[in-house]
Amino acid sequence: MTTSLEFGLDTFGDVTKDAAGAPLPHAQVIRNVVDEAVLADQLGIDFIGLGEHHRADFAISSPETVLAAIAARTQNIRLGSAVTVLSSDDPIRVFQRFATADAVSNGRAEVILGRGSFTESFPLFGFDLKQYNELFEEKLDLFTELLKQEPVTWQGKLRPPLKAQSVYPPIEHGRLKTWIGVGGSPESVVRAAHYDLPLMLAIIGGDPKRFAPYVDLHQRAYQQFGREPKPIGVHSPGYIAETDAQAREELWPDYKVMRDRIGKERGWPPMGRDEFVSEAEHGSLYVGAPETVARKIAAAVKALGAARFQLKYSAGPLPHDKLMKSIELYGSKVVPMVRDMLAA
């Protein structure tokens, strides 16, 4: 699968800071994300994914709307979510929004569906967290019926049934490319195979090789279902600068701010510099000079047989100009290096 490796970028629209160190307005962050996507398109990067969140530190709550703005200013880059929290949304509305994004982008839209590692959308939209798993399972079942683009007859437990109901607009050509985002649940890996959907592994810490058993499980599940396996992708955080030292020094303060803020909510201890360095050297934090990052990506792709690598390039309040430089180095230097390494 590495011969046709795709390269992507992800962002949650992290609220960044201005030259004086003050947080930018959410509106400006969103406009900056559009500019970042335009640069990615100019560099020939294959995909950009926007995460959905409903909290103060992330500016993007409606990825499809931002993707439509990106579509108007780009030509080739594929446009998707990273992820869409299907559990707290309506599958029909999700399909309609992405079908619309697919129309305005001339067929470049795709969606990554997940349960979400943040849960603020559940109380916001009136869903019970006790039904966290049940909501996703049922809504994914309905969403896969919509992908067939035929009149839908469907019945579940958590919403009224549908009988020969058509959904508009349809996808103009083919069907909407749909991934399942997985953070480490074997059940989710098997679920992706059950619904015959490609798998996106969110590897945000530790040696990426530890996810090899999930890849094996994915393959075995497909064998049991009697189908050819769909592709596997990898999503991990990172940052690129001219040298390893520069990349670490620029990323560390803002990465720690983000990590400690989220860690406080989840009961994690503050991140120390040793942990940060360990993740950079041995884990799933792709930070460093272009060659350093390229070697780590190539190794992870080989170990997991990934068909796409997506770099989560935003990290807390790290400023927009530094993100733009990191994107430029990713597209102009890292991507060609990885391709050369895999071809050698």
For residue range 275-334, what is the model confidence (pLDDT) as tens digits? 999 999 999 999 999 999 999 999 999 999 999 999 999 999 999 999 999 999 999 999
Fill in the DSSP letter of residue 211: G
d(CA 172, CA 170) in angstroms, rounded, equals 6
Region 334-344 average pLDDT: 96
Q: What is the pLDDT of residues 82-140, one digit of tens each?
A: 999 999 999 999 999 999 999 999 999 999 999 988 999 999 999 999 999 999 999 99
Residue pair 152/218 in contact (Cβ under 8 Å)? The answer is no
Q: Is the pLDDT of residue 3 over 80?
A: no
Q: Tell me what pLDDT residue 117 has.
A: 84
Q: Tell me what pLDDT residue 252 has.
A: 98
Q: Tell me what pLDDT residue 124 has.
A: 97
Fill in the DSSP letter of residue 89: S
Region 60-85 average pLDDT: 98
Q: Tell me what pLDDT residue 126 has.
A: 97
Choosing among 3.30.70.2190, 2.60.40.10, 3.40.50.970, 3.20.20.30, the CATH entry for 6-343 is: 3.20.20.30
Q: Is 146 helix (H, G, I), strand (E, B) or coil?
A: helix
Residue 2: pLDDT band with limits 50, 70, 90: very low
Contacts of 105 (CB under 8 A, 6+ apart): 67, 68, 71, 74, 79
Q: Tell me what pLDDT residue 184 has.
A: 79
Q: Is the pLDDT of residue 75 over 60?
A: yes
What is the distance in angstroms between the CA of the first residue and the CA of the last residue of the chain?
A: 15
Handedness of CA 281, 287, 292, 297 (dihedral sign): positive
Q: What is the pLDDT of residues 213-253, one digit of tens each?
A: 999 999 999 999 999 999 999 999 999 999 999 999 999 99
Q: Is the pLDDT of residue 263 over 80?
A: yes
Q: Tell me what pLDDT residue 4 has.
A: 85
Q: What is the pLDDT of residues 185-224, one digit of tens each?
A: 899 999 999 999 999 999 999 999 999 999 999 999 999 9
> Nearest CA to 67 among 33, 94, 27, 26?
33
Six token digits for residue 203: 């590897």
Contacts of 139 (CB under 8 A, 6+ apart): 86, 87, 89, 90, 91, 158
All structural domains of the chain with their residue ranges: 6-343
Residue pair 196/227 in contact (Cβ under 8 Å)? The answer is yes
Residue 1: pLDDT band with limits 50, 70, 90: very low
Q: Tell me what pLDDT residue 94 has.
A: 98
Q: Which residues pair with 111 in a beta bridge?
A: 178
Residue 144: pLDDT band with limits 50, 70, 90: very high
Fill in the DSSP letter of residue 208: G
